[in-house]
C-alpha cells in the first residue's frame, strides 16, 4: 500500500502566511495517471505526462501565491498537491474525505464500461449505480471537506487537489446547477475551476492547467 511522504501533514496544520485581500480557491484535478489494473485505483500515481503538466503549472502566478494546499489521500491527488505545495512553500494538508466518488463496488473498469457507468452516476444522482456512492452523497461530502479546508486555512488563496467526479459535484453545488455530467472537466484531467473564498462565487468553470487565465473571472 502506497503511503504519502513526510511533506504531507494532517489537515489543519498549515503554516500561517500573509495572504492577499482578495482570496481565491482553486480546485485542481490530478492530471494523467499511470493506469495499472493490478493496483487499487486510489494507489495510482501520476504518469510522466501528468507530472510534467503539474510541474509546469506550479510556475504560474496563481500557484506561487498559495497559502495552503489541501489534498485527498489518494496517491495521484497527493502527488499533484506536493508539486503545488513545494512551489508555494507550504505543507500538504491531507483530508481523506476529499476522495473521489467511492467506486470500490466495481473496482477497475475498462474505459468504455467506466464511461457508461459514470454517465449513469451523474444522470441518476439519487441512486447507487452499480454499487457506487450516490452522487448526492459524494456532493455533500466534498462540500463539507471544502468548508473544513477554508475554515482551517490562513487568510489568502488556497488549492484543493482532488478528482474530476467530486470536483464536478462541488462545482455544480457552488454554481447553483443541477448535477449533470455536461459540467464535467475535460478528458485527461489536469483542470482547474476557481471560486471566491469569501463569497463562494464561482469565478470560472474548468480550465486546463496550461490556461493562462486561471483565476481570472470568466
Domain boundaries, the chain: 21-208
User: Do the Cβ atoms of 84 and 190 come closer than 8 Å?
Assistant: no
pLDDT of residue 19: 39
CATH number of 21-208: 3.40.50.1240
Structure confidence at residue 75 as a pLDDT band (50, 70, 90): very high
CA 159 to chain centre: 8
**What is the grid cell recorded at 44?**
495510482
The overall pTM is greater than 0.85: yes
| pLDDT tens digits, one per residue of 124-173 | 999 999 999 999 999 999 999 999 999 999 999 999 999 999 999 999 99
Please tell me the predicted confidence (pLDDT) of residue 18.
Answer: 35
Please, which contacts does 12-16 make with residues 24 or more away whose CB atoms are closer than 8 Å? 12/93, 12/152, 13/91, 13/93, 14/67, 14/68, 14/90, 14/91, 14/93, 14/152, 14/153, 14/154, 15/90, 15/91, 15/154, 16/67, 16/154
Amino acid at each position: 500500500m502506497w503511503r504519502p511522504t513526510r511533506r504531507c501533514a494532517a489537515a489543519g496544520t498549515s503554516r500561517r502566511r500573509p495572504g492577499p485581500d482578495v482570496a481565491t480557491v482553486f480546485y485542481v484535478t490530478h492530471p494523467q495517471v499511470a493506469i495499472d489494473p493490478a493496483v487499487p485505483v486510489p494507489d495510482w500515481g501520476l504518469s510522466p505526462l501528468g507530472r510534467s503538466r503539474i510541474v509546469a503549472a506550479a510556475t504560474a502566478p496563481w500557484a506561487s501565491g498559495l497559502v495552503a494546499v489541501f489534498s485527498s489521500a489518494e496517491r495521484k491527488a497527493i502527488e499533484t498537491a506536493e508539486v503545488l505545495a513545494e512551489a508555494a512553500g507550504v505543507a500538504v494538508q491531507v483530508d481523506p474525505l476529499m476522495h473521489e466518488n467511492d467506486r470500490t463496488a466495481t473496482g477497475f473498469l475498462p474505459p468504455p464500461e467506466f464511461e457508461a457507468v459514470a454517465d449513469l452516476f451523474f444522470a441518476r444522482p439519487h441512486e447507487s449505480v452499480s454499487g457506487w456512492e450516490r452522487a448526492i452523497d459524494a456532493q455533500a461530502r466534498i462540500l463539507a471537506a471544502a468548508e473544513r479546508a477554508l475554515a482551517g486555512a490562513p487568510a489568502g488563496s488556497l488549492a484543493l487537489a482532488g478528482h474530476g467526479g467530486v470536483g464536478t459535484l462541488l462545482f455544480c453545488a457552488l454554481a447553483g446547477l443541477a448535477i449533470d455530467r455536461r459540467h464535467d472537466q475535460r478528458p485527461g484531467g489536469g483542470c482547474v475551476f476557481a471560486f471566491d473564498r469569501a463569497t463562494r462565487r464561482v469565478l470560472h468553470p474548468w480550465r486546463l492547467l496550461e490556461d493562462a487565465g486561471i483565476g481570472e473571472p470568466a
